[in-house]
Amino acid sequence: MNSDVKKRLLREMLFARRFEERCYEAYVERKIGGFLHLYPGEEACAHGVLEAANCGHDYVITSYRDHVHAIKCGVDPKAVMAELFAKEAGCCKGLGGSMHIFGVEHRFMGGYALVGGPFPLAAGIAKGIQMKKGNEICICFLGDAANNQGTFHESLNMAKLWNLPVLYVCENNLYGIGTRIDRSTAVVDQYKRVSSYNIPSNQVNGQDVELVYEAATQAIEHVRSGKGPYFLELMTYRFRGHSMSDSNAYRPKNEERVWGKRDPVIMFRDRLIETGEITQEDFKNMDNEILEEIEQEIIRFADESQEPSMELLDKYVLVENDPYVTGGSR
Amino acid sequence: MSKMMFWEAIQRAYDEEMTNDSLVFCMGEDIGVAGGTYKATKGLYEKFGSERVMDTPISENGFTGLGIGASFLNVRPIIEIMSVNFSWLAMDQMFNTAAKVHFMSGGQLKAPIVVRSPGGTAHQLGAQHSARMEKVFMGIAGLRVVTPSNPRQAYGLLKSAVRCDDPVFIYEHELMYNMQGEVPDTEYFHPLIGSEIARPGGDITLFGYNISVHWCLQAAETLSKQHGIEAEVIDLYALSPLDREGIVQSVSKTHRAVIVEEAEPAVGVGAEVMAIINEECFYELDAPPVRVSAANVPIPYNHTLEKSVIPNAQDVTAAVLKVFGQ
């Protein structure tokens, strides 16, 4: 990774942090409704993996903690924020919300709110790639707790059986909503669980974006070269509760302190300062620019966008004017 | 027109659609090497190969979800779920993903999947292999539900379902795969909406779908010959959306209605058709509508008990006579 790439990645991760923090404030201001699951603490996971992928070409799918993945794939942050504000200029016209961000033109295939739901969808996207003889891969990001769904096992089995080009990325943040992993899961190391399907796997520190990038590069190379699925476990931690309605009372303070010192943005910043690639001043300027952009462009855009029209309600329940519905032909 | 069996009509639709479009593929338990439990996919594995005719593991939710994911790329899976009883396992993916993804993505994604599944009460298959589940599927916005009553519909509905951009659930009956019927020799796409007049009549409307159309037709013959009552039989091959207009038209003509369903009465087709009649043409009625349904019990293994809980043509005849006060 050259210096320019590192600086850009740092900026993107800092942007993701500030974007999510601003979402928190907007939620408190009641501009964002429903459930809101934020990403601070886990930025190195999405950025490290997707930096190694070919965004816009490879397909990406994830869970309800999806804003940052969408933005890294190329979805306009203004359209994401407008979606959170439930406006018509939102990426899903205000019909999706925080848990359902989509950016299909960037091959971001969406955020899904049933834990473990995207496992088979990702295998299916990979099946579609295989049938179209493309060289894309599908990357599926899910949390550790999703691995206790049946879809985890069903999908790994089929992905291996049919040699599908899918990379499963497990963002292991140690908690399934409010239950610590060792209280819900017999095998705590998630990468070990896929060995029963003969799928190669790796476990790395998910707070270090460079380590994630390296591991993801290898994983993606494996999948793209036609060798079938791969499972990458990233050890991470979310700095906030599961969602905004989570009091976060279940985590020991000491644990939070320890992980707080492994802040992926701060760690990467300090490393780049140490190597002389940036200065403290550069970082401050970068931060100010980002804060300004979020406030002046993104929040303003979302605020000033229109409410969706009632006509949207009927428009997307079923596909409009499909000739085969009436037995006609195209 | 030529006569063919119900399963042959389905197999023909598969064969034509897979020949027409190399991105159509099919998947399900035992559909490939074994040729399909009801032969609907017979010969396809040999013709199209294992990539397009996929024998799946017994993972209904998983492989249905896989089909949905593939459909995001406009690859078109025809998913067979061996028995409708097993489709309960795939409801998560069908309802939470396929039925909602077009809407919640603001129109960005479509899920053009077809799920075919046979159900109904066959012969002594017991409580967990005798379900009639259409009522569950037809209650979900974003999903089309159709159910053929003859080989022509089985062929034409599957053809349209494959090409339609919406997710379509096709409910078939385990007892009907060997039924013979006329199917057009040329390619035919059956509408996925509407209803058909299976027998015209002016005195009362019998609403049926799938196997119950045949009970209605038998009852109509008896009523005509023995009681001088001319029943109109409406085939509700589209269960979601239901043909409100067709229902109203027939009831406005006959002024009486009996709805016949193989399923338990609660929250079912009968209840829904009655609601539509109430909402749209209540004052056309000369008598309260009646439904003929299964008993509200799990299906028993014992054959005598099993037969007693499922309606038949005699039950339909008796219900009609009661409507006429006979």
Could you tell me the CATH superfamily of domain A3-326? Thiamin diphosphate (ThDP)-binding fold, Pyr/PP domains (3.40.50.970)
Q: Tell if the CB–CB gap between A317 and B102 is shorter than 8 Å.
A: yes
Could you report the per-residue pLDDT of A276-295, keeping only the tens digit for each? 999 999 999 999 999 999 99
Angle at B162 between CA B157 and CA B166, to 5 degrees: 95
Q: Tell if the CB–CB gap between A93 and B106 is shorter than 8 Å.
A: yes
Alpha-carbon distance of A185 to A188, in angstroms, equals 6
Q: Tell if the CB–CB gap between A316 and B103 is shorter than 8 Å.
A: yes
Residues B8 and B153 in one domain: yes
Alpha-carbon distance of A287 to A166, in angstroms, equals 35
Which of B116, B149, B183 marks a domain boundary? B183
Q: A223-259 as b/e, with b when 16 or more CB fall inside 10 Å? A: bbeeebbbbbbbbbbbbbbbbbebeeeebeeeeeeeb
Residues B63 and B86 in one domain: yes
Portion of chain A with pLDDT greater than 70, in percent: 99
Interface probe for A, chosen from B105, B114, B189 (most Cβ of A below 10 Å), is B105
Q: What is the mean pLDDT of chain A?
A: 96
**pLDDT given at position A137:** 98
Checking ipTM against 0.95, whether it exceeds it is yes
Residues B172 and B209 in one domain: no
Residues B26 and B154 in one domain: yes
Comparing CA positions, the residue from B102, B94, B118 lying closest to residue B10 is B118
Residues B137 and B249 in one domain: no
- Yes or no: say if B258 and B290 are a contact pair by the CB < 8 Å rule: yes
Q: Tell if the CB–CB gap between B102 and A318 is shorter than 8 Å.
A: yes
Name the residue range of residue B86's domain: 2-183
Residues B153 and B257 in one domain: no
Q: Is A248 left (phi over 0), alpha (psi -120 to 50) or beta?
A: left
- The per-residue DSSP string of A42-85 comes to -HHHHHHHHHHS-BTTBEEEE-S--HHHHHHHT--HHHHHHHHT
- The CA distance from A287 to the nearest CA of chain B, in Å, is 32
Residue A291 CA, distance from chain mean position: 22
Show residues of chain A in contact with B18, CB under 8 Å. Answer: none
Comparing CA positions, the residue from A127, A109, A173 lying closest to residue A147 is A173
Show residues of chain B in contact with A124, CB under 8 Å. Answer: 65-72
Residue B239 has pLDDT above 90, yes or no: yes
Interface probe for A, chosen from B20, B23, B58, B108 (most Cβ of A below 10 Å), is B108
pLDDT category of residue A240 using cuts at 50, 70 and 90: confident
- The CA distance from A248 to the nearest CA of chain B, in Å, is 28
- Nearest chain B alpha carbon to A132: B23
Does residue B60 have an active-site annotation? yes
Could you report the per-residue pLDDT of A23-48, keeping only the tens digit for each? 999 999 999 999 999 999 999 999 99
The structural domain count of chain B equals 2
Q: Which of B60, B174, B262, B264 is catalytic?
A: B60
- Yes or no: say if B44 and B10 are a contact pair by the CB < 8 Å rule: no
Residues B131 and B274 in one domain: no
Alpha-carbon distance of B105 to B88, in angstroms, equals 25
- The CA distance from A285 to the nearest CA of chain B, in Å, is 36
Could you report the per-residue pLDDT of A178-230, keeping only the tens digit for each? 999 999 999 999 999 999 999 999 999 999 999 999 999 999 999 999 999 99
Residues B82 and B154 in one domain: yes
Show residues of chain A in contact with B56, CB under 8 Å. Answer: 158
**Out of B69, B104, B110, closest to residue A95 by CB:** B104
- Yes or no: say if B59 and A157 are a contact pair by the CB < 8 Å rule: yes
**Out of B22, B73, B107, closest to residue A128 by CB:** B73
